Structure 1
């Protein structure tokens, strides 16, 4: 294909990819908001809420290694389209249940399991396909625009969901998600996932790897990437401890502080605004030079914010004061998420070979989420037994301690050999270098 035509097609991919993500993310966010609020209001139990979170995490954690094999072996475009169609059918099934016999926790949990699998397949495939959809010079912009679309959906959907919750029926929420999913399928079907791909073709007569051999090859490849290994082990423990925030944030605001649905939605919207603004920043700035340093500082900041979530439970604030406090805290938290994730994601896109991306990204996702279901179960029980403020503070302290130990200056020097001992320490003083 002519170089100029490829660049035009890449530009089309850049915006189609962004719009597709925006539409599907908006539907998913509206659905998640409505279901989370429904469970907490119907049961009042952090355990029931945590169980739904587990249904969103456990299936994708178990299936991710197999998804990586399929993504590297078969058509990535076909996998994404099938996953999006399955999402539409799953929501349609829950809609049928709600109209015939009413929503039940069993139906919600089953749907969450299916959506967990479809979103995992879609997410791993899209992540593995970025360098096939756009030219290398625009990889950071593509990742930033992708995050911007998710952030924009996160801003609008909780606010809309909070305003509409109670004013419209649950079937309206489900129908919104279905329509968004169908539009996403149509957009994704027009994209060429092999435009810039550099995947090795299997020669005729050459024996194909078995699934087990392919997965072992992915692990072997990953072991040769020291920076990725550091990211994986840090993610394993950090995401476990973030269970305190995942369960506790909604539980504290809805159950303990009795925050109205529209105000709760606006605090989530503030989180998305922080993500959006920093996604825009990363879409126009040059590539971060030392991703691990930036991520370390960002995670420490997230730990501090998580501990500060307990403050309104220790110091009595007015309703408006608590609302403003959590809005500001969530804005900062959203900004820190982008500071942590974007540099690492761009580095991984450029460092990992196309033939291994599906397997490597699936392994990274599996390891990052391996302890999250356990964390959801544990924190679900803890919040029903112990004061929420002490759970948040102790978990935040553990999180900061883990990062300081696992990403110490010697580890940073090994991950970034161009940094000397003194320079490694000096560089850590900058959040975005």
Structure 2
């Protein structure tokens, strides 16, 4: 029953918030003359996530999680009501403020769910992790389409009202889950002490620190695909918009099918082995793409090959993320989960724009060499991970 409630929460909360986020971005682009305001909006959203996640992580580990959920959702409901009544008078600036608030409150809910996931899922942790990945993939694919249709018929204030309804339902569902009420140790310590203890825990547990460092490295390197494939498909190979749309869809479909596969046949053992295989797969795909770009081929061959690249990446992503998430859920002490996951989230959010900026610059020339070197760097990450993980005496293959 708890797992069903969690799945319902993921569907309702993610679908409502992503539709509204799409609408906000659309309205900013439509009703401002330049891209400056949109850039400011995206930058502030990212900065809010980076700066507030570690703070939220401390509160998640030291305060009653139900009260945190209530506070976050009431803030969400309040800002959406303010948006409904004041948007006509304030305009785009209110969209930006609302986006910032919703980013913070969504981070609260996400970190609380991550911190309590093992207790909620109980013996079905592996299946629930895969199923949540499937839901996120579906919502990510469908929400922009639904948002595009709704914007044509209803105002953004109406969408804010619909989001208010989904967030209210999300609050009810969250309160039905067994969330942590208190942690005896952290209740007696200050905020700063709790914050330092989170970093201290990572320093002491070298294998968890290694896993997070490997995860961050892989995210940085694989982001080259997100930046590079559109450049290669449209600018280098000259594929048309329909062909590029099919290539993009192949990634989503592959992620969905792989996540669904692992929810039916969950990964329950040899987590490290699966992580290593997925990193090797990343390395082969990136290196193979680099080698492919050294040759002149027809548009049809290039089109089919890029579909294969995205399908392969779509398989490798959940194949890496699912055992990675399961290992962290099983290994991190409950008293530190909020802080550890929040630190991980903040660094990921910081590295994403940095990675896009880096590859956006270097991919303008010599794409084949860039991808080949990125594939080699990914293989180096695999080698480092294999050597260091074996060198820690306390590691046990799970």
Query: Which category of TM-score, normalised to the shorter sequence, fits these structures?
Result: 0.7 to 0.9
The counterpart of 1:183, out of the listed 162, 169, 182, is 169
CA RMSD of aligned residues (A): 4.3
1:84 alignment partner in structure 2: 73
Q: Following the alignment from structure 1 to structure 2, what is the Cα–Cα distance between the partners of residues 317 and 211?
A: 58
Q: Show the counterpart of 1:276.
A: 256
CA separation of 1:307 and 1:123: change in aligned 2, threshold 3 A: farther
User: Following the alignment from structure 2 to structure 1, what is the Cα–Cα distance between the partners of residues 148 and 333?
Assistant: 43
- Corresponding position: 1:139 with 2:125: yes
Corresponding residue for 2:268? 287
Give the match for residue 326 of structure 2: 346
CA distance in 2, matches of 1:375, 1:13: 38
Give the equivalent residue in structure 2 for 1:152. 138
Indicate which of 383, 388, 393 corresponds to 1:411. 388
How far apart are the structure 2 equivalents of 1:57 and 1:391? Answer: 30
For the 8 Å contact 2:271–2:327, the answer to whether it is kept is no
The answer on whether the counterparts of 1:49 and 1:247 sit within 8 Å (CA) in structure 2 is no
1:128 to partner: Cα distance:
0.5
C-alpha distance in 2, partners of 1:120/1:275? 23
Task: Pick one of 21, 25, 39 that aligns with 1:32.
Answer: 21
TM superposition score normalised by structure 2: 0.77
1:71 counterpart (37, 43, 60):
60
- Give the Cα separation in 2 of the matches to 1:35 and 1:306: 36
SS of the residue aligned with 1:371?
helix
- Alignment partner of 2:205 out of 210, 225, 233: 225
1:295-374 to 2 correspondences below 5 Å? 295-297=278-280, 299-300=282-283, 303=286, 332-374=312-354
Residues 253, 259 of structure 1: 8 Å contact kept: no
Give the paired residue count. Answer: 386
Deviation, 1:216, is 2.1
Measured in 1, the distance between the counterparts of 2:99 and 2:194 equals: 29
Structure 1: unaligned runs, 5 residues or longer: 1-11, 420-432
Q: Are 1:59 and 2:48 counterparts? A: yes
Q: Deviations over 1:202-247 (max 9, x none)?
A: 5xxx981222222222222222333322233234444455666667
Q: Is the 8 A contact 2:288 2:372 kept in 1?
A: no
Pair 1:44–1:253, CA change in 2 (3 A)? farther
Q: CA deviation at 1:168?
A: 4.5
Is contact 1:301-1:336 (8 Å) kept?
no
1:37 Cα deviation after fit: 4.5
Whether the 8 Å CA contact 2:130–2:266 is kept in 1: the answer is: no
Which range moves more in the overlay, 124-133 or 400-409? 400-409
Shift of 1:30: 1.8
The answer on whether the counterparts of 1:296 and 1:403 sit within 8 Å (CA) in structure 2 is yes
Q: Do the aligned partners of 2:58 and 2:191 also contact (CA within 8 Å) in 1?
A: yes
Deviation at 1:299, TM superposition (A): 4.2
Q: Is the 8 A contact 1:295 1:341 kept in 2?
A: no
Q: CA deviation at 1:123?
A: 1.0
Q: CA deviation at 1:17?
A: 0.5
Q: Within 2, Cα distance between the matches of 1:161 and 1:96?
A: 21
> 2, 7, 11: which one pairs with 1:18?
7
Taking a change above 3 Å as real, the CA distance of residues 207 and 226 of structure 1, as seen in their structure-2 partners, is: closer
1:128 to 106, 115, 132: 115
Q: Deviation of residue 359 (structure 1)?
A: 1.6
**TM-score normalized by the length of structure 1:** 0.72
Unaligned runs of 5+ in 2: none
Query: Secondary structure of 1:191's match?
Result: coil
Alpha-carbon offset, residue 143 of structure 1: 1.4
Equivalent pair of 1:236/1:370 in contact (CA under 8 Å): no
